[in-house]
Amino acid sequence: MSAAALWALVPLKNLDRAKERLAGVLAPRARRELVAAMARDVLAALLAVPLAPGRIVLVSDDDAVQALAHEAGVALFRPGPAPRDPLNSALVEATRFVAGRGAGELLVLHADLPCATAAELRALIDAHHARAAGGGGACVTLVSDRAGSGTNCLLSTPPGAMAYRFGADSRRLHREAAAAAGVAYGEFAGAGLGRDVDQPEELTELVAVCESAQNDCGAYTARLLAS
């Protein structure tokens, strides 16, 4: 599968309601700024893969996210209302949207991965392509969170190869969904792609990363945390 057929979806909920589990350590404005900075770093990594800006799609119904998409030069998809399971419903809609525009494979990754790098994304894509070529059929590759229970990234050939099961215990649920759909399933271990930020202790660890000599955090988030 050529890289030209690869699209990326980055779901991002309303910025005013994002990262509520950090409410004990960050005020609402600081949480909005952190979420926006991390999203900018994720978009910068995707653009450096490189992916064409038009094939990088923020998935949100928030006007502030629309402004962020415009600033970064990437696309925006506004999903319809879904009272039940809004994240997976939005991704199903967005997947149909990009598949109808020629996407041959699809990377879904969360917006709270400020240590994601283009090099690690390219390694994920290369590993997925090698597995897909060897199997010859539908294929998915998952990157879990550091806890080992969630899904930070999911690369699918073709798009929508199996049902989305993002949420609690999604690593296991995605593995089961792949088996039910007869889709070849594999995983990729990535230090940056595995570092999401949901809990206060994860934010503390991210600050320590930014203050370290290596500082492999993205530039937008690193500048924000330094300030």
- Report which secondary-structure segment, H or E, holds 142: strand 139-144
Q: Which amino acid is at 133?
A: A
Total structural domains within the chain: 1
From the centroid of its chain, how far is CA 158? 17
pTM of the predicted structure, to 2 decimals:
0.95
CB 152 within 8 A of CB 110: yes
For residue 189, give the CATH number of its domain: 3.90.550.10
Q: Per residue of the chain (227 residues), give pLDDT as tens.
A: 454 599 999 999 888 888 888 988 899 999 999 999 999 999 999 999 999 999 999 999 999 999 999 999 999 999 999 888 999 999 999 999 999 999 999 999 999 999 999 999 999 999 999 998 877 789 999 999 999 999 999 999 999 999 999 999 999 999 999 999 999 999 999 999 999 999 999 999 999 988 887 788 999 999 999 88
* Pairing label, strands 56-59, 75-77: parallel
Domain that holds residue 185: 3-226
Quick one: CA torsion of 45, 51, 52, 54, rounded to 10 degrees? -80
